[in-house]
Amino acid sequence: MISHVVLFRPKPTLTAAERASLIQAVHHAIDGIPSIRRASIGRRITLNRPGYETQMTEHYEFSAVFEFDSEANLRNYLDHPAHAELGKMLFACAEAVLAYDFSDDLPTDLARPG
């Protein structure tokens, strides 16, 4: 499985209409792109634990995680017009965005010694 992980922080000046357009673009992508196996959108929670959250140099208020059965399905998602619309909206509405793709294979250099 492949996870497409996006962290983002909306612009503080974002209007209600702009927020609604971004949410609509997310739903359009989730509903319209068949290669998405699963999607979740969440707001960051903080636990007020000393030395935990304070080590993060950046704060991203939201996460979006899209899961795909294969790299080919992720590529189909990235090439889909609904993704282009979502990306355009996200970068217009956010002051900071990070996007990374991960496989669920445990790398051998991180595997627990046998």
- Please check whether residue 112 lies inside any domain of the structure: no
pLDDT in tens, 1-31: 999 999 999 999 999 999 999 999 999 999 9
- Please check whether residue 114 lies inside any domain of the structure: no
Q: Sign of torsion, CA 5 11 12 14?
A: negative
- Please check whether residue 93 lies inside any domain of the structure: yes
- Please check whether residue 109 lies inside any domain of the structure: no
- Please check whether residue 48 lies inside any domain of the structure: yes
**Between the CA of residue 47 and those of 21, 68, 101, what are the distances in Å?**
30, 30, 26
Total domain count, the chain:
1
Q: What is the CATH number of the domain that holds 62?
A: 3.30.70.100
Q: For residue 6, give its domain range.
A: 2-103
What is the pTM assigned to this prediction?
Answer: 0.85
pLDDT in tens, 29-72: 999 999 999 999 999 998 888 778 778 888 999 999 999 999 99
